Chains A and B, each alone.
Chain A
Amino acid sequence: MFWDKKTETMKGEQLQELQLRRLKQTIHQSQKVGFYRQHLSEAHVRQEDIRTLSDIEKIPFTRKQDLMGGYPFGFLAVPLNNVVRIHTTSGTTGKPTVVGYTKKDLDTWSDLIARNMTMVGVTKDDVFQNMVNYGMFTGGLGFHYGAEKIGMTVIPSATGNTKRQIEMIKDFGVTTIHCTPGYAMHLSEVAEEMHASLDSLKTGIFGAEPWSETMRHSLEERLGVTAYDSYGLSELFGPGVAFECPERDGLHIWHDAYLVEIINPKTGEQLSDGERGELVVTPLVKEAMPLLRYRTGDITMAMEDGCLCTRGRKIARITGRSDDMLVIRGINVFPSQIEHVLLKIPEVGNQFMVYVDRVNHLDEMTVDVEINRDYFSGELFDLSRIQKKVVKELMDALELRTTVRLVEPGSLPRFEGKAKRVIDRRGDTI
């Protein structure tokens, strides 16, 4: 099924013409942002130098760190009174990355989500339970408005209270769910314990964290759904950037809205089809916050053309990151954020180690931190207080509950050169 068949299946010259026209518009829009005026002038690129799509290589990349420099509104190309919504996503330091949307942006975005959901066969007859965070995270409101646009019956259940979520699925006859794959697994286990039937379910949309084919089989078996992978990032609106079709062999990225490059993350050179590298995207339809050659940090590859569904070329499922970003329960975490939090707490040292495990299908993050010698009173109570303080500060900064272990001063490894502070023990399987 198609939401917008003409656009979704557009290929060849027609698509390239559209992309080039929109690329030029985007570059024009970007020149309303101080950073991009400087960015292009420093690279000695004028707007008129971009005559073909391949001319995009003349433009330097935009990195997440660049966005930090513009906090809070430095990357807006429109006046704030034309911005109708703000979302944020994890930054690499203490400040989050801010993303703004105009009314038109929200319309474009929900349209992309509507395409995705229609592509996997859900319609206005479906009942949709959206079990992700509805706050600053783009996954909640993003899917919400896309599903409403289709005319689905939307249940904005958000996260938490798994038993209640299961009751609603049962009582409201929910057919379609959206959540992280880890939470879906947890949900299936709680349902089993409750002896609750989830018979009404037929479609599971899972995203915000990488998941394996083994996980897919397991989720489909346990929940009785067909499971689809959803990809997006807040800087590119949020979810809806790329999505699996019923073939479930790679994700369709919307070429009318996103100009895709795959690069070697070390050299920045473009890679050919079938070569794994970092996904670089120039969004072609963003109004409030245009970006040029944005480095997503996600590792994938361009797949060959010719999907049976007749839509455009796909990218492979994401297999990792080119930087040290972690995805914990669907939340992006940079080790530098943890460092930033610890720097503000005098009772503990600045060295740390992070361990990531999967316990009952859910990610658990443990942070080891040294107690500061000068703050040891000899009392267990004071140590517990310090431990709780670190948990709270991390919670405030990361929006994630972590386990904090206080360790003896000087006991954590000191790194010369590149620090290896993260031990991810989740492995590849479920």
Chain B
Amino acid sequence: MDVKKYVIKQISIFSENRPGRLAAIAHALGEENVNILAFSIAEANGFGVVRALVDQPEKAYKKLSSIGFNVAFTDVIAVHMHDRPGGLYEIAKMLGDANINIEYSYAYSGKEGAVLILRVDQVVDAIEKISKSGATLIESSVFH
């Protein structure tokens, strides 16, 4: 199995927790015609990390860095969920049964159905376990 095709590049942006920072990020991405597919904000002690799945990660990285943001790529994986009550439970139970520890996660519900994005410490191992469990991983080409 080619696990690489399931590894998705999330961009992680360091941001101080103050008004206008998200707007600055979103504005820059809009200017570059980069589409944001999903994002979340994590906060700790006065600063935060904005995590986003975008259609053109390299372009986003370049643009945000050029205007001074501190950006890094993070490998994440995406799992398809049934967009109905109990959909998250099916996946969460599978992850638990497979003994996969989630560092963080966020989700969206779009035209391809509901998607759970996962940051795990052992990416390759997680991809293999999830595939075996019968759940559907989403290829990175779907995003970018």
Q: Do A and B come from one complex?
A: yes
Between B46, B48, B74, the greatest number of chain A beta carbons within 10 A of the residue's beta carbon is seen for: B46
B122 sits at the interface (CB 8 A)? no
What is the minimal beta-carbon distance from A294 to any residue of chain B, in angstroms?
Answer: 41
Question: Quick check: B16 and A380 within 8 Å, CB to CB?
Answer: no
Question: Quick check: A409 and B70 within 8 Å, CB to CB?
Answer: yes
A379 sits at the interface (CB 8 A)? yes
B141 sits at the interface (CB 8 A)? no
Interface residues of A in 359-416 (CB under 8 A from B): 371, 373, 376-381, 383-384, 387, 405-411
Please count how many residues in chain B sit with their CB below 8 Å of the partner chain's CB atoms.
21
Known: A406-B47, A407-B47, A410-B68. A379 touches B74 (CB 8 A): yes
B102 sits at the interface (CB 8 A)? no
By secondary structure, the B interface counts as: strand
Question: Quick check: A387 and B45 within 8 Å, CB to CB?
Answer: yes
Q: Report which of B46, B49, B70 forms a contact with A380, defined as CB distance below 8 A.
A: B49
A405 to B14, CA, bound (A): 13
B98 sits at the interface (CB 8 A)? no
What is the minimal beta-carbon distance from A254 to any residue of chain B, in angstroms?
Answer: 48
A383 to B14, CA, bound (A): 9
Question: Quick check: A380 and B74 within 8 Å, CB to CB?
Answer: no
B1 sits at the interface (CB 8 A)? no
B143 sits at the interface (CB 8 A)? no
What is the minimal beta-carbon distance from A370 to any residue of chain B, in angstroms?
Answer: 9
A379 to B70, CA, bound (A): 12
Known: A380-B44, A380-B49, A383-B44. A408 touches B72 (CB 8 A): no
Interface band, chain A? 10 to 19
Interface residues of B in 3-59 (CB under 8 A from A): 10, 12, 14-16, 42, 44-49, 51
Residues of A with C-beta under 8 A to B45? 384, 387, 405-406
By secondary structure, the A interface counts as: mixed
Interface residues of A in 185-207 (CB under 8 A from B): none
Question: Quick check: A409 and B74 within 8 Å, CB to CB?
Answer: no
Q: Report which of A378, A406, A411 forms a contact with B46, defined as CB distance below 8 A.
A: A406
Q: Report which of A373, A378, A387, A411 forms a contact with B16, defined as CB distance below 8 A.
A: A411
Question: Quick check: A408 and B48 within 8 Å, CB to CB?
Answer: no
Closest B residue to A410 using CB positions: B68
Question: Quick check: B14 and A408 within 8 Å, CB to CB?
Answer: yes
A73 to B51, CA, bound (A): 54
Residues of A with C-beta under 8 A to B42? 380
Residues of A with C-beta under 8 A to B72? 376-378
A426 to B69, CA, bound (A): 33
> 1/0 per position for B61-81, CB-CB distance to A under 8 A?
000000011111110000000
What is the minimal beta-carbon distance from A284 to any residue of chain B, in angstroms?
Answer: 51
A381 to B42, CA, bound (A): 10
Closest A residue to B10 using CB positions: A378
What is the minimal beta-carbon distance from B111 to any residue of chain A, in angstroms?
Answer: 28
Question: Quick check: B44 and A407 within 8 Å, CB to CB?
Answer: no
What is the minimal beta-carbon distance from B10 to any residue of chain A, in angstroms?
Answer: 8
What is the minimal beta-carbon distance from B20 to any residue of chain A, in angstroms?
Answer: 12
What is the minimal beta-carbon distance from B75 to any residue of chain A, in angstroms?
Answer: 10
A383 to B42, CA, bound (A): 12
A376 to B13, CA, bound (A): 9
A408 to B42, CA, bound (A): 16
Residues of B with C-beta under 8 A to A377? 72
A294 to B68, CA, bound (A): 47
What is the minimal beta-carbon distance from B50 to any residue of chain A, in angstroms?
Answer: 10
17 contacts between A and B (CB under 8 A): A378-B10, A378-B73, A379-B74, A380-B42, A380-B48, A381-B103, A383-B14, A387-B45, A387-B47, A405-B45, A405-B46, A407-B16, A407-B47, A408-B14, A408-B15, A408-B16, A410-B68
Which B residues are closer than 8 A to A by beta carbons?
10, 12, 14-16, 42, 44-49, 51, 68-74, 103
Nearest 3 CB-CB pairings of A with B:
A378-B12, A378-B72, A378-B74
Add 10 more A-B contacts to A378-B74, A406-B46, A406-B47 (CB < 8 A). Answer: A378-B12, A378-B71, A378-B72, A380-B44, A384-B45, A387-B47, A407-B47, A408-B14, A408-B68, A409-B70
